[in-house]
């Protein structure tokens, strides 16, 4: 049918440079509020369609011990099975423990977002959860006097309020932004992570990811997941943006560095013309899949508008998290493909858990009333 009509989609596109089998051992450090759920969907789909094992949270847990530093025992089935192919749920990075779960040839990658917008998204999403945000009437107010609100930097729920991406990499979010320290940590990330995607340039990032993993085009096509309605996004004044950059100075340094290296790699490996062509192919395929799968031309829907409860994303804080309705009347095979493309993280995790551990109790997704 339609999904398999374009043979070119399955062939490598990068000439001799893409030789070899697709990479299947992958660790994605899922940072917070950075488009990481969109990337996770890509990895879950690849794992499911290629029958790969995923290092899923143990028991009823929904993440890998976050915000505690990751430990191997947070993974379901660790010990009974030697190693896993894919690891991509939220965790705080801790290399020696990750290595107990993942093979030696694992490809490590992650994603960063401009810390100003990452913080703004976190503020709304964790508004009622993080004590530092709970007391602040707005992000402007929080940043005008952060120490008033962020008065307990050791509170575990405050990890979302300062240098949260730096924290996710396993580093101290309250450290001084001192040159030697920052450079040493960035060098550490560079040594381990073969690629760091940038949310602002996600399509360019995915072109590079696809090249590194030697995957087919369809493997990296994804719809935007976990986005907020315009109503729940705050407009920030230039002063607030500047304050966010200095409040999250460690995140800012990390972001600046990897934004620069992403573009250096794109220039060196593809060049502007080829990159434009690849990005356009990715977007064209996304549009094609959107018109095949999604109702109303792919319009984002709030949770009351999403008919199928299994496709409703988890709601948090003051954020209005959007999702999609599928076109009615899809044949079974197309329906399966489309459902996987729009399935929210928690539901997809529960699905993979049930497939991988049929003997264990199902993951309970409380907001679905399951």
Ligand X SMILES: Nc1ncnc2c1ncn2[C@@H]1O[C@H](COP(=O)(O)OS(=O)(=O)O)[C@@H](OP(=O)(O)O)[C@H]1O
Interface ranges with ligand X (CB under 6 A): 32-38, 117, 121, 199, 202, 224-228, 233
Give the SS3 label for residue 61.
coil
Give the residue carrying structure tokens 């502007």.
Answer: 272
The set of residues, in sequence order, having a beta carbon less than 8 Å from that of 191 and lying 6+ positions away, is none
Spatial CA neighbour of 261 closest among 67, 112, 158: 112
Phi, psi of 93 (to 5 degrees): -60, 135
Nearer to ligand X, 102 or 199 (CB): 199
Minimum distance of ligand X from residue 16's CB (angstroms): 30
Toward ligand X, which CB reaches closer, 24 or 92? 92
Nearer to ligand X (CB atom), residue 199 or residue 209: 199
The DSSP letter of residue 364 is P
Smallest gap from Cβ 348 to ligand X, in A, equals 12
Least gap, CB of 253 to ligand X (angstroms): 20
- Cα separation, 176 vs 196, in Å, equals 23
311 vs 308: CA distance, rounded Å: 6
| Beta carbon nearer to ligand X, 54 or 225 | 225
Give the nearest distance from C-beta 322 to ligand X in angstroms: 8
Shortest Cβ distance from residue 185 to ligand X (Å)?
A: 21
CB 36 → ligand X: shortest distance, Å?
Answer: 3
In angstroms, give the least distance from the CB of 316 to ligand X: 7
CA separation for the pair 33, 159 (Å, rounded) = 13
User: Of the two residues 71 and 234, which places its CB atom closer to ligand X in the complex?
Assistant: 234
Nearest by Cα to 281 from 210, 196, 199: 210
Give start and end residues of each alpha helix (H) in 193-234: 202-213
Kindly tell me which of 24 and 74 has the beta carbon lying closer to ligand X.
74
Closest to ligand X by CB, 127 or 257: 127
Q: Which two tokens stand for residue 350?
A: 């529960």
Taking alpha carbons only, the member of 256, 282, 313, 315 closest to residue 113 is 256
CB atoms within 10 A of CB 87: 26
């Amino acid at each position: 049918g339609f999904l398999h009509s374009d043979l070119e989609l399955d062939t490598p596109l990068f000439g001799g440079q893409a030789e070899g089998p697709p990479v299947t051992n992958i660790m994605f450090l899922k940072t917070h509020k950075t488009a990481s759920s969109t990337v996770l969907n890509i990895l879950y789909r690849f794992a499911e369609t290629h029958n790969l094992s995923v290092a899923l949270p143990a028991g009823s847990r929904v993440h890998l011990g976050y915000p505690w530093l990751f430990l191997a025992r947070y993974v379901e089935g660790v010990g009974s099975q030697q190693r896993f192919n894919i690891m991509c749920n939220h965790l705080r990075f801790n290399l020696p423990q990750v290595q107990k779960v993942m093979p030696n040839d694992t490809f490590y990658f992650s994603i960063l977002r401009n810390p100003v917008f990452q913080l703004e998204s976190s503020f709304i999403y964790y508004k009622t959860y993080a004590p530092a945000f709970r007391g602040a009437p707005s992000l402007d107010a929080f940043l005008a006097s952060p120490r008033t609100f962020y008065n307990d930097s050791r509170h575990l729920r405050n990890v979302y309020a300062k240098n949260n991406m730096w924290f996710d990499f396993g580093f101290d979010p309250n450290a001084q932004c001192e040159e030697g320290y920052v450079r040493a940590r960035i060098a550490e990330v560079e040594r381990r992570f073969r690629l760091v995607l940038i949310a602002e340039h996600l399509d360019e990032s995915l072109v590079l990811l696809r090249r590194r993993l030697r995957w087919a085009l369809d493997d990296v096509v994804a719809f935007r997941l976990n986005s907020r309605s315009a109503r729940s996004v705050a407009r920030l004044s230039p002063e607030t943006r500047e304050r966010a950059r200095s409040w999250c100075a460690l995140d800012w340094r990390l972001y600046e560095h990897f934004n620069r290296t992403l573009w250096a790699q794109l220039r060196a490996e593809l060049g502007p013309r080829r990159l434009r062509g690849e990005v356009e192919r990715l977007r064209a395929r996304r549009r094609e899949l959107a018109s095949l799968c999604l109702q109303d031309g792919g319009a984002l829907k709030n949770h009351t508008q999403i008919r199928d409860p299994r496709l409703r994303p988890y709601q948090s804080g003051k954020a209005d998290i959007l999702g999609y309705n599928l076109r009615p009347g899809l044949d079974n095979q197309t329906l399966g493909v489309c459902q996987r493309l729009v399935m929210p993280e928690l539901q997809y995790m529960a699905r993979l858990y049930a497939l991988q551990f049929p003997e264990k109790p199902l993951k309970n997704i409380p907001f679905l009333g399951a």
